[in-house]
Structure 1
Amino acid sequence: MRSWLHDVQELDFWLVWAKITNEPWWPGIVIPGQVCKKIKPGYVWVFWNSENNVSLVEVFQVADFRENFFRFHEPSLIDEGYIKDNVTIIKCYAWQQGCHIQSWSEDNTLAWARNGFTPLKRLSIETRGLPQQIMEAVVEAGKGLCSVSVDRNYVPETKLDTKLVAEDIPKKRKLSADQERNMERYKQGEKICIACIRKIENSLEHPLFDGVICNNCKVRAQQYMFTTKENRLVACAICFWKSDVSCKSTSCLWTFCMKCCSTYMIEVPNRSCIRCLDEGNNLVLRVSDNRLNKVLHLFAPSMTDTACIPIHTISCKKQLRVLSLFDGIGTGLFVLHQLLLPVAKYFASEIDPHAMKISDKNFPGQITHLGDVTHLSDDDFKKMLADGNIDLLLGGSPCNDLSMVNHSRKGLYDLQGSGPLFFHYQNILMKLRLLQPKDHMLFYFYENVANLDNKTKNTISLFLGHNPTIMDATHFSAQDRRRSFWGNIPGMHKTVQLKEDCKLQDYICGNPYASRQKLRTLTTSSDIATDSFGNFLIDGNGKPQSLKIETLEEIFGFSAGFTKLEEIGSYKRRCLLACAWSVPVVSRLLQGLKLFFHLDNKMQ
């Protein structure tokens, strides 16, 4: 008869990051389903070692520990329990790899993980188990609980991007008597979170003001600081709950809630945004001089991006210089104009002559074409950087040989295909970082399809230093278009976006009837006249009609006629749109740039 310990050693212990309400992503261990009874699918019990406690967590709020370490690990979080759980899970990961580091100090263990888990000598075979003491604690905690057996490859039915989309953001509650008293203590110099006005021991700097915030408010800042509605920020710059007032000037970013205005004696409407407040003499709350640096640290997606943040205090720039690779029809420049971001110089690498003619038609004299990305030379970079540094690198290499929809795809490494073009983007990113001064902040943004195979997605993430954000245009327009986005734009990875109820019928003029609410993902080979069942998308007076190119342009976020040229027909225009970005999605992901560059009201 086999022993209890022998049975335990055969269990699969999954090391994860898990997220529960009002808490940051935290390292833990999923209690194996064999230990617990089963309940409805989609939930797991997660064991927290530092507290010897468990929580029931939805599966889409659980992510593999090693794969997502640089995405969720927060080096600035000095909470004792957080550090202890990180060290424990890192050591458990090494154990599962056959490497024994149990005797290592906390500092050495954390340094090993933060430096990329460099390979160690294996002293035993790989296992899915845990060191005996930890394993027994996990199993003991799981006895009698109800859970569901989930392996590490489980993919929940819920779309990954839905956690970044919401109907609205929550409002701040009325201050309690304790909070009123804490406000007086704050004025006397005590350590009080200026967002929730509660006493705290372990505190972090507020990203925008001279003051501290608690960890819960930090998480809320990451979720809502750059949430927008109709291209305006809708979260209070102090507490990050829903705001009530905004400045009349469109060049002013931030808004406040009435409760914070009252608490911190901010005049309304004259002091209704952070830039106006900066110009005033509010004695209760002062705008931080190095707020741009603090925002970058708050939203940095990886250790590499954190290391690239300038040490000196960053100032807001008047204009930005952009390099766009695989530029297509100039969607990047279109979005920057929509965000009122003034562009001093826009360099574009594109080889399709029709795409270049369309971008030149819409942005006459504003684009400097560089030609094929594979032919960019050192002289090209010298010319680009002669008059100033590049502030933003955009790009989305062709997906034909990467998408799982293409069963004959060649992948990332076949030089006969388009896959290796990603490495040209990554190489240029590294080259710009080397050629430009270390005290210059370089933003980057890379896009590709969401249906990459795991090996391709992990390779891209490895080279760019972090996992992507997945966002679907269906939340903001009348088309299904899921895409993966990598980059270091503040807010693009954790910000909750407010969805809009857009249907295909909203874009159709006259009385034709749309047979479905959303247009399926447009590709160069898809039929825009029919839906997935072969039915015509629109039907007027009993007669089937094709979807007009102008309607497609508006669904993508462009103005009608954006791709119109005399020498190209509807099919070519459709193909060019199929390779373009969804404007509503990209404009939301690039909102964070507005904090770093002066907005231009003349561009409205």
Structure 2
Amino acid sequence: MAGKNTKPGFVWVFWFSDDKIFQICAARAGVTTGSLDGDLLGWAMGDGGIAALYNQDSSAFSPVEGSEVPEYVLVNLRASLCDQTETVKPTDSKSMDQLKLKTSSIKKGRIYSARKDESNKVQMDPTGPVHCFVCEEKVELVTEHPLFEGRVCLQCKELLMSTLYAVDNDGCGMYCCVCGDGGELFVCSSGSCGRAYCFDCGLKKFGSAEVDRVKACDDWQCYLCVPGHPAQMPMGLMPRTNRDLELMCFFQPRSIPQTLDMERVRRVNRRKIRVLSLFDGIGAARVALEELGIEVETYYAVETDVDACAVTIFQHGIQHLGNVYSLNSDMLSTLGPVDLVIGGPPSADLSTTNLEQLGFHGSGMLALKFLTIVKELQVMYNQPMYWLMVTTPCMVAQYRKVISSLFEMDPVLLDARYLTEHRWAATCWGNIPNMHKLGELYKGLHNDQNNNCLTDNMISMQGNDKAKNVDVQEIERLYGYPAHYTDAWPLNHATRRRLLGNAWDVHAITRILAPLANIFKAKTSVC
């Protein structure tokens, strides 16, 4: 029972079989609405509540013969019963306060909780492994938590992978960095951090006293920013000393796919590269190829933003092909052999930062279009071809699984803060040699000088004071573009900031494309 409805004679009822809430006539539900005027929990556990309904007609609680309750419904009921038995004790005022705190939480974003589907978890021997650090269930643990000491299960890992890089327009985390869920959040006041912690984790990991202390703070720095002595840290929450590198290992693919044989390709005569750039933006891929010294024979671009096209035409004289949906088989056949297909399809409808995401019914369809073009070119020309798709770093787990299944590989995380002072990240699929070994590269390039980085959201938001104080030329330098790169007629400063806020980081793209300098004709060779 979910509660009394404002419509006279009706009540809200939660149906476990459909996992939905409906309003139905109170009389049909066997409930007297007048008895709901007080506390709902008190009514349910009182003499006139559920027990009274059961005593009146116990058969109403039994399934009709031949239409027994499905097993997954019983699993949900047992889970709910266990949760209430452990956390709700009417005689315990402290437990009731915790319950009120949980039910008053306001979710900031759409939640894809690993704890919603407990029935899919692989249960282990109770005497075997320890509990998952996040969900606290005895399940198979697959990896370390990237920020705090403890191991997590597969479902919690997938949730954290979807939310750890999700930030709001102010640069602060939208989800809890401990569990990956949303809700009412504590947010670190340090400008270089912005990590968030949910109230549920606060109660479980910190304790009610610590939660009260944090709530009373006007300027609170989290446990990752001001780690104290182990004895002074909250119970069960110990930051990792090497958490930046652990974060990279956390996002490493489970298996490394087979890529094109670089040694075989090196033996043939090198030639200039032919590129098809989908969703080209302001030409980050073109700038990266120039940084690597790779000579470009042809560079086709697909971009619909007229301001971005103005920049690439002014700087490189790029030939644009129009809308991506105009790239049919006939047009692709006129392009000739393509050596590299690269692009960043808009993925707002696949991101956990979007509260109204449409998935593959919205902009997510463009990722599938990218895949279609890659497959069609591979079949059409039947020759070695490299490709790279760059998307949001906070993609919803179910969408990431679909794309990984279609590409037949897991993605990698490309994080620019290990290469430069700029904070920018992306999820990448592709067959560029060595791209699935970026974790090993980051260990040698680990940069601790990133405490005052700007996020791409800060730069693109005109109302952000910190972004307003940064000159456009400085933003171009942070992203790796030449000075005045976006200074093309008739773009003003606001438009140039918007374009840079949506652009790729050239340092990161250069690093991932570096092996191509040993395959195609280049002024210099890069290992």
1:322 matched to 2:414? no
- Secondary structure of the corresponding residue to residue 455 of structure 1: helix
Partners of 2:133 and 2:152 within 8 A in 1: no
The 5-angstrom pairing of residues 494-573 of structure 1 reads 494-495=437-438, 496-497=440-441, 498-499=444-445, 501=447, 517-522=452-457, 526-527=461-462, 529-530=464-465, 536=466, 546-573=469-496
* 1:476 aligned to which of 419, 428, 431: 419
1:398 matched to 2:346? yes
Equivalent residue for 1:409? Answer: 357
Return the offset for 1:597.
Answer: 1.4
Q: Which structure has greater helix proportion? A: 2
Return the offset for 1:405.
Answer: 1.1
* 1:348 aligned to which of 298, 301, 320: 301
- Secondary structure of the corresponding residue to residue 446 of structure 1: strand
Return the offset for 1:588.
Answer: 1.1
Once structures 1 and 2 are overlaid, which stretch shifts more, 569-578 or 389-398? 569-578
Distance 1:312 1:328 in 2: 30
The 5-angstrom pairing of residues 205-216 of structure 1 reads none
- 1:44 to 1:582, Cα distance in 2 relative to 1, 3 A: farther
* 1:431 aligned to which of 365, 376, 387: 376
Amino acid at match of 2:335: M
Residue by residue over 1:525-579, the C-alpha shift from the partner in whole angstroms, topping out at 9 and shown as x without a partner, is 634743xxxxx46xxxxxxx62111111111111121111231112211221122
Distance 1:378 1:492 in 2: 29
Return the offset for 1:399.
Answer: 2.1
Return the offset for 1:522.
Answer: 2.6
Distance 1:445 1:56 in 2: 28
Amino acid at match of 1:410: L
Return the offset for 1:482.
Answer: 2.2
1:163 matched to 2:106? no
Equivalent residue for 1:74? Answer: none
Distance 2:418 2:279 in 1: 25
Partners of 2:126 and 2:138 within 8 A in 1: no
Partners of 2:456 and 2:502 within 8 A in 1: no
- 1:37 to 1:599, Cα distance in 2 relative to 1, 3 A: closer
Return the offset for 1:58.
Answer: 4.0
TM-score by length of 1: 0.46
The 5-angstrom pairing of residues 67-82 of structure 1 reads none
Partners of 1:528 and 1:546 within 8 A in 2: no
**Rg (Cα) greater in structure:** 2
Residue by residue over 1:404-434, the C-alpha shift from the partner in whole angstroms, topping out at 9 and shown as x without a partner, is 111112211x2xx322111211110010011
1:368 matched to 2:319? yes
Return the offset for 1:36.
Answer: 4.0
The CA RMSD measured in Å over matched residues stands at 4.3
Equivalent residue for 2:365? Answer: 420
Distance 2:458 2:143 in 1: 37
Return the offset for 1:313.
Answer: 8.9
- Secondary structure of the corresponding residue to residue 456 of structure 2: coil
Return the offset for 1:444.
Answer: 0.5
Amino acid at match of 1:383: T
Distance 1:411 1:302 in 2: 26
Percent identity for Structure 1 against Structure 2 = 24
Q: Name structure 1 gaps, 5 residues minimum.
A: 1-28, 48-54, 69-155, 166-221, 224-298, 505-515, 531-535, 538-544
- Secondary structure of the corresponding residue to residue 478 of structure 1: coil
Partners of 1:443 and 1:487 within 8 A in 2: yes
Q: Give the number of equivalent residue pairs.
A: 315
1:302 matched to 2:302? no
Residue by residue over 1:278-337, the C-alpha shift from the partner in whole angstroms, topping out at 9 and shown as x without a partner, is xxxxxxxxxxxxxxxxxxxxx99436x67x999999625221111110011111111011
* 1:34 aligned to which of 117, 123, 126: 126
- 1:301 to 1:62, Cα distance in 2 relative to 1, 3 A: farther
Distance 2:265 2:433 in 1: 18
Partners of 1:316 and 1:595 within 8 A in 2: no
Return the offset for 1:454.
Answer: 0.6
Distance 1:46 1:494 in 2: 29
Return the offset for 1:466.
Answer: 0.9
Amino acid at match of 1:581: W
Return the offset for 1:358.
Answer: 0.5
Partners of 2:129 and 2:138 within 8 A in 1: no
Partners of 2:130 and 2:138 within 8 A in 1: no
- Secondary structure of the corresponding residue to residue 450 of structure 1: coil
